[in-house]
Copies of this chain bind each other. A is one copy, B any other.
Amino acid sequence: MARIVQKFGGTSVADLDRIRNVAEKVKKEVAAGNEVAVVVSAMAGATNQLVSFARDIGPLHDAREYDTIVATGEQVTVGLLAIALQNMGIDARSWLGWQIPFRTDEVHGSARIEAIETEQLDKRLKSGQVAVVAGFQGIGPDGRITTLGRGGSDTSAVALAAALQADRCDIYTDVDGVYTTDPRLCPAARKLDQITFEEMLEMASAGAKVLQTRSVAMAMRHNVKLQVLSSFNETPGTMVVDEEMTMEQQKISGIAYSRDEAKVTLSGLPDKPGIAAAIFGQLADAHINVDMIVQSAAADGQSTDITFSLGEADLDKAVGLLEAARGDLGFAEISSNGKVAKVSIIGTAMRTQAGIAKTMFAILAEKGINLQVISTSEIKISVLIEADYTELAVRSLHEAFGLESA
């Protein structure tokens, strides 16, 4: 007997038939004698509808009211899934964020989970009742509904698995696991049987959409055994495991990309201590996440240039902010480009194998792809390139690193 948290995203609960299908997946675990908590998202499309209501009613958004509105999506799904389970003879009840409660901070729209009180839930699970839990939502310190931000249901599931000390957290999705790269972009992509937490984390933050970065980081921190699998078939998925548990040893595990990138360059900045802190402090205050940063001294030895990448959605806001602070920051010029993409190769093997970066740069150079920004971590190398070359870059790297199906 094990305790399992299952998570089903929006496409898995898109209509009543699919909700019944989810109930079947739950039933299978119950029939195997397991204790089951299921975390669900809103029916696909429901959240978009609610978000556009909230946007269209007026130009000002009160994030608290926004959360009250969009949290209804998951509220509907938990009720429906609980009924579907009851109709199969399975004891089940729904739990909303405030009922458990999932306590979060007060940052409405992208709240962080602070604590989950599992006493009630634990008792019910032990008694054999399935807990159907609304993902994506919690309750803030002021007693109002909070949401965790788009995709937050993965985080809800992992946090719940950690709090309930579950044996496994199964993330059901519309793909059947984690691939070496996006199969839509590169048909030779191969499904991985396992991937390490760190690789998964880098994949997610580099743009692979299969799991939310936050949820992977949380799983790693709390050592939650994570599985990614399909809600639409019975194929085994990909297990996300500790590094010591990996069997495979390859040069790299996967290639991720993101087209929603933009680049900003500030040139002619005074070369003095604190200038980077001043720039990025301002952007952080405005909740703009900066990804890659490169600083280079200018030829005159007096000034410096800083280039950084950020989400395309934040580009206009960031440029506006920096323009307004031109006097304080003292840069000569600002330029920006919204047509860039980030391509990353990821693999724990980089730690021990030299020359992987060199190989990557050589392959891209061979294809005539110019590298605008480079950034590396212990197990990842990312490059910013012109967006038009994304497919070419991904496919070339996939082939060159031998990732295709055997």
Chain A residues in the interface with B (C-beta under 8 A): 16, 19-20, 50, 53-54, 56-62, 64-66, 68-69, 71-72, 75-76, 78-80, 82-84, 86-87, 93-94, 96, 98-99, 143-145
Contact = CB atoms under 8 A, between A and B. Distances in A.
B93 A57 contact: no
Nearest to A69: B79
Contacts of A72: 72, 75-76
Contacts of A145: 96
Most buried by B among A16, A20, A56, A69: A69
A99 B72 CA distance: 15
Contact of A83 (B50, B60, B94): B60
Contact of A79 (B68, B80, B83, B99): B68
A99 B145 CA distance: 10
A79 B84 CA distance: 29
Contacts of A64: 93-94
A interface: dominant SS: helix
Contact of A60 (B57, B86, B93): B86
B16 A53 contact: yes
A84 B57 contact: yes
B80 A57 contact: yes
A75 B84 contact: no
A78 to B, nearest CB: 7
Given A50-B76, A76-B53, A99-B144, A82 B58 contact: no
A212 B380 CA distance: 65
Contacts of A76: 50, 53, 69, 72
Contact of A80 (B16, B20, B53): B53
Given A94-B68, A99-B144, A143-B99, A58 B83 contact: yes
A275 to B, nearest CB: 39
A88 B82 CA distance: 40
A62 B82 contact: yes
A50 B76 CA distance: 8
Contacts of A60: 83, 86-87
16 contacts: A16-B57, A50-B76, A54-B80, A57-B84, A58-B83, A60-B86, A62-B93, A64-B93, A65-B86, A66-B79, A66-B83, A68-B79, A68-B96, A69-B75, A71-B75, A99-B144
Contacts of A16: 53, 56-57
Contacts of A56: 16
B93 A65 contact: yes
A54 B144 CA distance: 26
A65 B79 contact: yes
A57 B16 CA distance: 6
Contact of A62 (B66, B69, B86): B86
Contact of A61 (B57, B58, B71, B83): B83
A377 to B, nearest CB: 40
A52 to B, nearest CB: 10
